[in-house]
Amino acid sequence: MSTISVLGTGARVPDRIVSNDEVGAPAGVDGEWIVRKTAIRERRWAAPGEATSHLAAAAGRAALEAAGITAAQLSLIVVATSTPDRPQPPTAVFVQQQLGALGAAAFDVNAVCSGSVFALSVVEGMLSKTGGHALVIGADVYSRILNPADRKTVVLFGDGAGAMVLGPGPGPKIRHVALHTFGDLSDLIQVPAGGSRIPPDQAALDAGLQYFAMDGREVRRFVVEQLPQLTKQFLHEAGVAPDDIAHFVPHQANGVMLDTVIEDLSLSRATTHLTLEEYGNTGAASIPITLDAAARKGAFGPGDLVLLAGFGGGMAAGLALLEW
């Protein structure tokens, strides 16, 4: 088991609540259709001028307060995001500035919706060698890259940030982590324009290539087929049985799809924690937001095994086991 603990968690979502009727109207669907297809009832969208780094820094402050750690004590800040403030510099740099953590190294990780678990793994490995304290943040502002007429995507996503402070000391321990990437499926989830392959010129904008795009049917197939298999393999490697898991915190992709997946995971004694009904799919933020919500409710008890499962663009999947 790792010597690194989760010392505190925090989260921040925008103030603006966006109803299903509001988001569904331009896409030609009603609120009832959205609930039936996704189990999402509302989401939060960032205000004009509110960037990914603003939400990330606010979540980071909450996590630092919960951990009893000051920003000056941080040696590392890692932000998992696929909606950065700018293509460069890293969004973590802006978070560092806002927190006043000028002694911390700062960089981003992009594994889309699995990003928080990927970042957790990277940081745990670094701290095990260097010591110190780190802030891991998952943050996304998907509302800026959604096509309002695309009912397959616009109804799913919200904005937000969740954070964890990692370091030595008493607290939930990171027991096992596994990361997977299926690059042959990279076209299933993408934002085609904005990089070196397709610059964001007028032709790209006219074609709508700046928007988030997803092959929903194939994404669902990937999750339903791969996640149970990867999870069972992961638990075997960790030396625990499915019945040993007390809590399950999945990526908050789609509630209807999760119902199908959860049945196949055989986590018969686990409580599944969900925030998607209120916040929607918040990308890399969804796992740490949901973990923070459960932790602040006192859901986790000493010795509880908490399974985190991220999955999404890449295609990628990240699994982490925490012992509370």
**Can you give the residue ranges of every domain in the chain?**
1-324
- pLDDT score of 263: 86
Distance CA 111, CA 121 (A): 12
Compute the average pLDDT of residues 148-174. Answer: 95
The band of 94, judged by pLDDT with boundaries at 50, 70 and 90, is very high
Question: pLDDT (tens digit, 9 = 90+) per residue, 197-208?
Answer: 999 999 999 999
Q: Which residues contact 203 (CB under 8 A, 6 or more apart)?
A: none
Residue 2's pLDDT band (boundaries 50, 70, 90)? confident
- CATH T-level topology, domain 1-324: Peroxisomal Thiolase; Chain A, domain 1 (3.40.47)
What integer best gives the mean pLDDT of the chain?
Answer: 96
Whole-structure pTM value? 0.95
Residue 1 predicted with pLDDT over 90 = no
Q: Are 140 and 280 in contact (CB under 8 A)?
A: no
Tell me the three state secondary structure of residue 176: strand
Q: 109-122: per-residue pLDDT in tens?
A: 999 999 999 999 99
Among candidate residues 154, 312, 299, the one with its CA nearest the CA of residue 223: 312
The residues, any chain, with a CB within 8 Å of residue 6's CB and separated by 6 or more, are: 164, 165, 166, 171, 172, 173, 174, 322
Q: pLDDT value at position 3? A: 87
Q: Where are the beta strands (DSSP E) in the chain?
A: 4-12, 16-19, 42-45, 74-80, 105-109, 133-141, 159-168, 173-181, 189-190, 213-214, 247-250, 271-272, 305-312, 316-323
What pLDDT digit, counting tens, does each position of 31-52 carry?
Answer: 999 999 999 999 999 999 999 9
Q: Report pLDDT digits (tens) over 210-266.
A: 999 999 999 999 999 999 999 999 999 999 999 999 999 999 999 999 999 998 898
Q: Provide, rounded to the nearest whole percent, the portion of the chain with pLDDT above 70.
A: 100
Q: How far apart are CA 159 and CA 13, in angstroms?
A: 6
pLDDT at 4 over 70: yes
Known catalytic residues are: 113, 251, 281
Residue 186 reports pLDDT greater than 90: yes
